[in-house]
Structure formats: structure tokens, C-alpha cells
Amino acid sequence: MEHRTSATARGRAGEEAAARFLETKGYRIIARNVRFRTGEIDLIADENGVLVFVEVKTRSGSDFGTAAEAVTGRKQQQLVRLASLFLAQSGSLARPCRFDVVAVEPAPTGEFACTLFTNAFAAR
């Protein structure tokens, strides 16, 4: 449990860093940690009228591959399903939207370094 808690805490800290990073990029954060029965969407933002579903992936190091690599096809499909749920509930199925990924990795300064992948994947 100890380990799990620290991983969750690191994840939350990463999401916080990612949200601040996206705001500097002109994204307006609409919602955080939107939970559904099958999972959660880390961040939902609005960028110039486009609804953006953001997956934040935090890694403490690259021993197990980079953060961006960790968003596998399966995770992508889960996000697609969650996004359709969200759109259905908010009644805006035909809104322009996309999926972004923010990779958060510790920088040498002790801060977080964020990398943004716009339109990282699509539904299939």
C-alpha cells in the first residue's frame, strides 16, 4: 500500500504540473479526473473551441520506457470509450474534439518537465 500511495501521489503531482503547463499553452481546463465506472479521464480542456481529452502520464525515470510510450493501444481505446461516454452525457456528440497526451518526467532541477503530444491518437 505504501508503494501504491506514493505512485498515486506522484500521479496527482504530475497531473497538477500538466494542468499548469497546458494553461500556459492557452488551454482552458474544464474538468479534472472525470470518473466513470470503467476508468477516468485525467483532464478535459478547451482549446480554441476544440474539446481536448488529455491523458497525463507521469514517470519517475525512463527505466521502464518513457512516459509517452506507456500510453498503449489498449489505454488509448479505453480513453476513446470514456470520451464517447462523456460526450454522450454532455449531449455534444458532434463537437470537434481530439486526444492529447502530456508526458511528465522529472527534470534535473527537481521540477517536472512536460511534453505535449497534440492529436496523439484517434478512435479506430
Partner 1 sequence: MRVLSFALEGIDAVPVVVEVDVSHGLPSFDIVGLPDAAVRESRERVRAAVQNSGWAFPAQRITVNLAPAHTRKGGAGFDLAVALGILAALGHLQSSALAGVAVAGELALDGTLRAVRGALAMGLATMRERATGLILPQASAREAALAGCAVYPAFHLCEAVQHLSGAAPLAPVIPLAAAAESPHSPVDLADVRGQLVGKRALEIAAAGGHNLFFVGPPGAGKSLLARCLPGIMPPLDQEESLEVSRIHSVAGALSGGTLISCRPYRAPHHCASRAAVLGGGTPLRPGEITLAHQGVLFLDELPEFGRNVLEGLRQPLEEGKVHISRANGSVVFPARPMLVAAANPCPCGYLGSAVRPCTCPPSAVAMYRGRMSGPILDRFDLHLHLEPVPYDCVATTSPPAEPSAAVRSRVIQARARQRARLRETGLTCNAQMAVRETRRFAPLPAAGEAMMRQAVDRMGLSLRAHDRILKVARTIADLAGAEAIEVPHLAEALQYRAVDRAV
Considering beta carbons, is residue 10 or 98 the nearer one to partner 1? Answer: 98
CB of 117 to partner 1, least distance (A): 12
H or E element in which residue 115 lies: strand 112-121
CB of 79 to partner 1, least distance (A): 10
| Full strand arrangement of the beta sheet holding 50-58 | 28-36, 39-47, 50-58
Considering beta carbons, is residue 29 or 80 the nearer one to partner 1? Answer: 80
What Cα–Cα distance (Å) separates residue 101 from each residue in 2, 76, 113?
Answer: 28, 10, 14
H or E element in which residue 46 lies: strand 39-47
CB of 18 to partner 1, least distance (A): 19
Identity of the residue numbered 111: E
Considering beta carbons, is residue 1 or 94 the nearer one to partner 1? Answer: 94
DSSP code of residue 3: H
Considering beta carbons, is residue 12 or 75 the nearer one to partner 1? Answer: 75
CB of 47 to partner 1, least distance (A): 11
Residues near partner 1 (CB under 8 A) are 50, 80, 83-84, 87, 93-99, 119, 122-124
